[in-house]
Structure 1
Amino acid sequence: MLKTEPALYEVVGRKNNHLWLEVLEGGDQGIRVSVPVHNSEYGENLQAQVLRLSVGDVRRFVLESEDEGRPDWRICEIEGPPVPA
């Protein structure tokens, strides 16, 4: 399993069941990844937080993926309150 360090992301798109996130800081700045809006791995609280995210939101996320070869990222943690843009 892969798990990222906490990083600041902006929600830059939403299409079907996926959010597009862009890394805003560090060595991975500018990289975009998609994460599912609905996922069976999300607990009830995390699912509710993910559903409230919209384009333009800036938050600190930790992402994880079961597959190390071709990561299929999902949010595993949302840290702290929203960050002002």
Structure 2
Amino acid sequence: MKYACSNCNTAFYGDDLEQCPRCSSKKISMLYVTPKEGEASAAPVKHEEGACSKCGGKEFEFIWRRREKVCKKCGEIFPARRNR
């Protein structure tokens, strides 16, 4: 079962809890978990060298001022490699 604390807004799992494990408040409510929420993505992403670790995209926008690269597919930000 998944619960949420009304006092500190923490979500946590447990069985028959009477108080929040973080703040010990008794103001907790039970949340319903839908099957889609708990499942992982249907197809695992194969990671290739130079590909995005989140979505597998291979196109990046480089921001040299901040030494970052941004995946054009999902928007994930990675540190750019330094050339020596």
Asked which structure has the greater CA Rg, the reply is: 2
Structure (1/2) with the larger strand percentage: 1
TM-score by length of 1: 0.26
TM-score, structure 2 as length reference: 0.26
- By relative contact order (CA 8 Å, sep 6+), the higher-ranking structure is 1
Report which of the two has the higher share of helix. Answer: 1
